């Protein structure tokens, strides 16, 4: 019980509502307003998980989805049942926090350059399936104008360059591990969310990812395979971007502020 209670200090309890609000505002804007094929509704969840632990992270994700489901004005829709997925994301974030994934790791030379290149390659590899999807390349399937493919490719290249530059300029290997943790989180999230999307909603959730499901269905996949395929397209890149946003936020905070959270010491470099 001490392990559990240590995750819910006063600072964590104050941070959780802020994190929930970030999840809802960004998630609603990206999914329902912009209709993009990503989510960006886990930044607060991962932040709390990394700083406080897996239970606090899971609870933040679950509460965000449930509050979003029933919030006046933006409530309803399909987000509620995916609270399970949000909880899993929070659990994994807590695991990464315990492992010190977000802790700075100063490096130089070949090791640093290699980490920057591999991290950029991870981003590109995660985006390639989206770029190859007929929902974007074939207007008769997705209905997107031709500039969308070019924009998606440009965003992918820009994201890869930003990740590589962040690692290299800061001379910090942590960026590589953050990218890897984000990709792993996305894969797990896709595996958990696919049955919910397929069996509860028939693959149609009302977000920008529906067009990918439709494209895969038109290609002959059943609803479960189409939902899983969509998840494996969208979730890894989404969680990699989200993890890097959290990493940048943590990098901008002072060591003293971070260290006051339950897992804060694992997210900062050792004192010199």
**Is residue 74 predicted with pLDDT exceeding 80?**
no
Q: What is the pLDDT of residue 270?
A: 61
Of 63-77, 133-147, 212-226, give the lowest mean pLDDT range: 133-147
Q: Quick check: 259 pLDDT over 60? A: yes
Q: What percent of the chain has pLDDT over 90?
A: 36
Contact by Cβ (8 Å): 180, 193: no
Structure confidence at residue 55 (pLDDT)? 95
Handedness of CA 22, 28, 34, 36 (dihedral sign): positive
Q: Indicate if the pLDDT at residue 208 is higher than 80.
A: no
Angle between helices 109-131 and 147-170 (to 10 degrees): 160
Distances (CA, A) of 152 to 148, 211, 217: 6, 15, 22
Give one word for 47, left, alpha or beta, with left for phi > 0 and alpha for psi -120 to 50.
Answer: alpha
* pLDDT of 272: 42
- pLDDT > 60? residue 121: yes
How many other C-beta atoms lie within 10 A of the C-beta of residue 13?
A: 11
- CA gap 41, 67 in Å, rounded: 13
Greater confidence (164 vs 218) lies with 164
pLDDT at 210: 75
pLDDT per position as a tens digit, 183-195: 899 999 999 999 9
How many Cβ atoms from other residues are within 10 Å of residue 271's Cβ? 7
**Residue 271, pLDDT above cutoff 60:** no
User: What is the overall mean pLDDT for the chain?
Assistant: 84
| Neighbour count for residue 64 (Cβ, 10 Å) | 28
pLDDT digits (tens, 9 = 90+) for 122-153: 878 777 766 666 655 565 655 555 655 666 67
DSSP assignment letter at 102: T
CB 61 within 8 A of CB 86: yes
More confident residue, 73 or 48: 48
- The per-residue pLDDT for 269 is 66
> What element of type H or E holds 22?
helix 10-28
The structure tokens listed for 39 are 């989510």
Instruction: Provide the residue ranges of all domains of the chain, joining segments of one domain with +.
Output: 2-267
Position 18 confidence tier, pLDDT thresholds 50, 70, 90: very high
pTM of the predicted model as reported, rounded to 2 decimal places: 0.86
Task: Please tell me what DSSP assigns to residue 262.
Answer: T
Residue 168's pLDDT is: 82
For residues 88 and 188, is the Cβ–Cβ distance under 8 A? yes
Higher pLDDT, 76 or 257: 257
pLDDT single digits (tens) 155-182: 678 778 888 888 888 888 888 899 899 9
């Amino acid at each position: 019980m001490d392990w559990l209670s240590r995750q819910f200090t006063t600072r964590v309890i104050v941070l959780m509502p802020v994190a929930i609000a970030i999840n809802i505002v960004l998630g609603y804007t990206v999914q329902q307003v912009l209709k993009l094929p990503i989510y960006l509704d886990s930044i607060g969840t991962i932040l709390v998980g990394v700083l406080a632990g897996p239970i606090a992270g899971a609870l933040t994700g679950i509460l965000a989805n449930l509050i979003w489901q029933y919030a006046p004005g933006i409530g309803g829709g399909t987000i509620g049942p995916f609270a399970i997925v949000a909880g899993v994301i929070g659990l994994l974030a807590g695991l990464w926090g315990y492992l010190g994934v977000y802790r700075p790791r100063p490096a130089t030379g070949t090791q640093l350059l290699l980490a920057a290149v591999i991290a950029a390659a991870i981003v590109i590899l995660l985006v390639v399936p989206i770029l190859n999807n007929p929902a974007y390349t074939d207007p008769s399937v997705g209905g997107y104008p031709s500039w969308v493919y070019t924009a998606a490719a440009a965003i992918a290249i820009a994201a890869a360059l930003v990740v590589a530059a962040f690692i290299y300029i800061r001379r910090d290997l942590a960026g590589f591990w953050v990218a890897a943790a984000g990709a792993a989180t996305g894969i797990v999230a896709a595996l958990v969310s696919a049955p919910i999307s397929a069996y509860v909603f028939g693959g149609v959730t009302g977000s920008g990812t529906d067009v990918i499901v439709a494209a895969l269905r038109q290609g002959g996949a059943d609803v479960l395979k189409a939902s899983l395929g969509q998840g494996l397209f969208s979730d890894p890149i989404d969680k990699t971007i989200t993890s890097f946003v959290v990493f940048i936020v943590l990098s901008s905070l002072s060591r003293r502020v971070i260290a006051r959270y339950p897992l804060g010491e694992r997210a900062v470099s050792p004192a010199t």
